[in-house]
Amino acid sequence: MEILNKVTNLKPSDFDEVVLASGSPRRREILTQIGMKFRVVVSNDEEAPKSKNPLDFPRENASAKALSVSANERDALVLGFDTLVFLDGEPLGKPGTPEKALEMLKRLNGRAHKVVTGVAVARNGVLLCATEEETEVFFRNNTLQELEDYVNSKDPMDKAGAYGIQTQGARLISGIRGCYYNVVGLPVARLLDVLGRLKETT
């Protein structure tokens, strides 16, 4: 599902700098990598999606973050993102404990799963666009020792699904189908597509 609202009060200069409603260092790195000018204002809102379909959660959470920050950032384009790992339709968030991380990794091991990132753009407390990107990720048949060694590295603890494809978690993965940057947490092509279409509505 995608929401793209027609807007009439945006100017080309509004796209010169955006606000990132996320404290994620990985998202900051990606925006810097693609040369986008931005500043960070972290949303402190609790994630409370209302949909009965968990696959809608990333889009709802991204929208809530963007709306929350945009209400206090007059005339700025605010970007919200939320990434979840799904296995058999069940969302896997951040593990919280090493034991939970190992449990998640055992479930993912040797299987394919989905990574879904919600992408939202808001301005002055109004949602301009909300959509999502999906990537399929394939885990190797890792040994228990390999999984335990990765958990002991502490790398999984702040990551949805208990792994990071851009860090040591890369050794657990045999391949992906779709956008790599989506798995990291910010689908570049999807974001640029959204911003391009918003420009066309002005």
Contact 116, 58 (CB under 8 A): yes
Does the annotation count 45 as an active-site position? no
- DSSP conformation letters of 120-150: EEEETTEEEEEEEEEEEEEE----HHHHHHH
The whole-angstrom separation of Cα 15 and Cα 38 is 10
Nearest to 40 by CA among 15, 22, 25: 22
| Per-residue burial over 49-62, b = 16 or more CB atoms within 10 Å of its CB, e = otherwise | beeeeebbbbbbbb
Catalytically annotated residue among 14, 16, 45, 82: 82
If we measure between CA atoms, which residue out of 52, 188, 44 comes closest to residue 119? Answer: 188
* Nearest of 201, 55, 164, 76 to residue 118 by alpha carbon: 55
Instruction: Please identify every residue annotated as catalytic.
Output: 82
